[in-house]
Amino acid sequence: MKIFVFEDIGVWNESMSDRLKIAIVGAGIGGLSAALALSARGMNVTVFEGAGSPREAGAGLSIPPNALILLKRTALCDELEKITTRSHGLTRRTSKGEPVPAGTSTGPSYQVHRAEFLEMLLGVVKAPVRFGHRCIAVEEAPAGARLVFANGAICDADAVIGADGIHSVVQRQIGLTAHPASEGIVAYRGLVQSEKLAWGAELRGLNMWIGDGRSFICFPVSQGRLINIVAFVPSMRDMEETWSAPGNVRSLAAEYDGWDAPVRDLIAALDQTFRWGIYDRAPLPYWSRGHVTLLGDAAHPMVPHFGQGAGQAIEDGFALAVLLEHAKRDEIPARLKAYQDMRLARTSRVQAASRLAGRFYRSVGDRGQAERFQAWMSAAEWIFPYDAEEAASAVLNQEFSSSVCQGTPKKIPHLPHL
């Protein structure tokens, strides 16, 4: 089998040969967002993806305020506006349609079709994305880390970022094992064409119905042409952690028999649905080893009840870019450790808040509902306004002030359209 060394075939940008070489494993939202942030701060980045071509399950995604804070600095706002709808907060109702107190506004969020968002990121990221490169090993190298791929290729880098999801190869290669625990919930996902519903064009923002151990959420995507739905129902069946397992529309309808009319109308308009087993994991003891670290679901998979999966992955990438911007090669392990420590503390709290949010959504009529609502509100107040770049800058100045420029490292005030 012929072995290729990527540096010999131009995987790295030769005009940036003096810059840190960063290899990202995984071309999902976390990996591409990290590539965007790292490239903007001057690093030589390459993304490796195991799939042979871009592909993503068709589903909706909410980009929360804490992620928008960062993305807006990249001058992607115009591009985002073309593919998103915008909402302020979450409208909640009981299963019978009665309003549930909304509390304070959480700030603006964008709802987007996941495939459209990934296509947009692929179009603007400067870094090359190498498809058909399935990582099988991560090894120590003399001054960094080496990636080994199933196609026989290898790549040496100053730092490796594992953004390869819940079944992360990079995670296992640095000695970690995450044990999933079922939440006892299955999510049914689907997309409905707005034109199928008489009131479909009037639907705005994030909408949720809660009650009877179940919850149902919907929001428009693709500029209102489609309505994304996610229905959470109890289940004791063990299921794969996949979005593509086929579901049964009739079975889904039976779960919401007697619920508010819009819920039943949306389910009736589905052509197909997919099941997704919801699993939780305890926070990992560490994310980084030497010149290798983790990001996104590879580091902190979380239940989806606060809509923070993508948001936390985006925070990871932007924080990491700040911490690596001025690093010398021999400082990388310490910088990755600092990244791990600041992000592990943050994401562990968000994981816990997401679990509590799920219990709140399914607690209508329970004696503890009022307390869970207050816990939800308290979490919203610290999750959504968070600025990952500011937090990383503070860590950088506190822990590495002797090796960086004085003052707070520059943010990305406006990254030109790429």
Dihedral pair phi/psi, residue 27, rounded to 5°: -110, 40
Question: Would you say residue 58 has pLDDT above 80?
Answer: no
Which of 1-10, 61-70, 173-182, 296-305 is predicted least confidently?
1-10
Q: With bands split at pLDDT 50, 70 and 90, how would you rate the model's confidence at 56?
A: low
Tens digits of per-residue pLDDT, 11-37?
777 666 688 999 999 999 999 999 999
Residue 369: pLDDT band (50, 70, 90) is low
Q: Are 61 and 111 in contact (CB under 8 A)?
A: yes
pLDDT at 211: 83
Percent of the chain with pLDDT over 90: 55
| 1 has a pLDDT exceeding 90 | no
Q: Bigger pLDDT: 13 or 93?
A: 93
Phi and psi torsions of 25, nearest 5°? -100, 110
CA 33 from chain centre, in angstroms, equals 9
Q: Are 11 and 157 in contact (CB under 8 A)?
A: no
pLDDT digits (tens, 9 = 90+) for 279-324: 888 999 999 999 999 999 999 999 988 889 999 999 999 999 999 9
Residue ranges of the domains in the chain? Answer: 6-58+125-179+282-403
pLDDT on residue 269: 94
Q: Which whole number is the average pLDDT over 390-401? A: 92
Q: What is the edge-to-edge ordering of all strands in the sheet holding 108-113?
A: 60-63, 108-113, 84-88
DSSP one-letter string for 207-261: EEEEETTEEEEEEEEGGGTEEEEEEEEE--S---S-S-EE--HHHHHHHTTTS-H
Instruction: Say what the pLDDT of residue 9 is.
Output: 37
Q: What is the pLDDT of residues 117-144, one digit of tens each?
A: 999 999 989 899 999 999 999 998 888 9
Which of the pair, 411 or 219, is modelled with greater confidence?
219
CA distance 178 to 160: 20
Question: Which of 209, 211, 214 has its CA nearest to residue 185?
Answer: 214
- The residue whose two tokens read 């693709």 is 222
Which CATH architecture group holds 6-58+125-179+282-403?
3-Layer(bba) Sandwich (3.50)
User: Which has more confidence, 240 or 171?
Assistant: 171
Give the lowest-confidence range in 148-162, 233-247, 253-267, 300-314: 233-247
In which band, very low, low, confident or very high, does the pLDDT at 412 lie, cut at 50, 70 and 90?
Answer: very low
pLDDT at 229: 95
The whole-number average pLDDT for the span 325-348 is 96
Predicted confidence (pLDDT) at residue 408 exceeds the cutoff of 70 = no
What pLDDT score was predicted for residue 417? 29
pTM: 0.89
Q: What is the pLDDT of residue 345?
A: 96
Residue 259 has pLDDT above 80, yes or no: yes
Give the residue-averaged pLDDT of 342-352. 96
Percent of the chain with pLDDT over 70: 84
pLDDT band at residue 105 under the 50/70/90 scheme: low
Q: What is the mean pLDDT of residues 354-379?
A: 71
Residue 35 CA to residue 184 CA, distance in Å, equals: 35
Of the pLDDT bands very low, low, confident and very high (cuts 50, 70, 90), residue 80 is: confident
Residue 364: predicted pLDDT: 62
Q: What is the mean pLDDT of residues 97-110?
A: 74
pLDDT of residue 5: 42
Which one is predicted more confidently, 38 or 235? Answer: 38
- The angle at the Cα of 207, spanning 299 to 183, to the nearest 5 degrees, equals 40
pLDDT reported for residue 57: 60
